[in-house]
Each structure stands twice: as structure tokens, then as C-alpha cells.
Amino acid sequence: MAYLSNLNNYRNTGLLILRVGLGAMMIYHGYPKLLGGPHGWAGLGESTKYVGIHFWPVLWGFLGALTETLGGFLIIIGLVFRPAALFLMLFLIVAAATHFGEGEGLGGAAHAVELVFVFAGLIFVGPGKYSVDKK
């Protein structure tokens, strides 16, 4: 497939597309949670029980919603990219553990597990040159 080999010249464009798409979807899912208030945050924060955290569910829920929303924005613009990707990866590990803990199995947790691997890979790859953090 030699005709696709020229795409190597556009790796940074590919990273930008990936960042914008992933970040927008994280905001799409996180913003309603952030607006959910203390009652919504408590429900979200109770998910931490599946990773052994049984205290302050409102705080954990708020931090989870903030991570998903603000993290998505930071991924899009490429600012503090690696820490944002790390926090999103941790958030998604808790989401996957919740699906498993509720008996949904891999079918229920698949989306979260997939995104854990995507964000783990992005931690190593970085944001690319079309970002605020460009190097």
C-alpha cells in the first residue's frame, strides 16, 4: 500500500483529529455530570467503592465529573496533555471497575477499557505539534 505511505507526513494532523474527537466526547459525557450537583456527584462518586474507596462520594463524584469535562477540554487544546490523559485514564479505570462490579462483564466495560488503552498510549505519544504544549 505504497499510496498510503505519504500519510506518515501527517502524523500531527492525525493526533489533532484524535485529540479533538476524544476530547469532545469526554466533554459531551462529562458536562451533564458536572451540572448534576451534589446529588448527581454522590451517585457518580459511589462508583469508587469498586476500587476500594468508600468515603466522600460527593467529592469523588465532583472530581470525576470535573476530570471528564476539563480533561476533555485540555486534551482538545493540548495543554498539560499528559497529566490530563493520565487522570482520564484513571477515571476510566474506575468506570470499567464499576461495570465489572455491577456484573456487566466485558460487554459492559468494553468502551471504558478501550479508552483506558487509548489514553495510556497518548501519554507516551504526546499531543503532537498542533497543541498548546507543542515541543
Determine how many CB atoms are found less than 10 A away from the CB of residue 106: 10
Q: How far apart are CA 92 and CA 4, in angstroms?
A: 33
pTM over 0.95: no
Over the stretch 50-99, which tens digit does the pLDDT of each residue have? Answer: 888 899 999 999 999 999 999 999 999 999 999 999 999 999 999 999 99
Q: Where are the domains of the chain?
A: 10-125
pLDDT band at 126 (very low <50, low <70, confident <90, very high): very high
Over the stretch 9-24, which tens digit does the pLDDT of each residue have? Answer: 889 999 999 999 999 9
Q: Residue 100 half-sphere exposure, CB side, CA atoms within 13 Å?
A: 14
Q: How far apart are CA 123 and CA 54, in angstroms?
A: 29
* CA-based end-to-end distance of the chain: 31
Of the two residues 53 and 3, the one the predictor is more confident about is 53
Which amino acid is present at 133? D
Task: Output DSSP code: residue 96.
Answer: H
Residue 1 reports pLDDT greater than 70: no
pLDDT computed for residue 54 by the predictor: 92
The overall longest dimension of the chain from CA atoms, in Å, is 56
Residue 7 reports pLDDT greater than 80: no
Residue 8 reports pLDDT greater than 90: no
| CB neighbour class for 91 (10 Å; exposed up to 12, middle 13-18, buried from 19) | buried
How far, rounded to the nearest angstrom, does the alpha carbon of residue 127 sit from its chain's CA centroid? 14
pLDDT computed for residue 135 by the predictor: 61
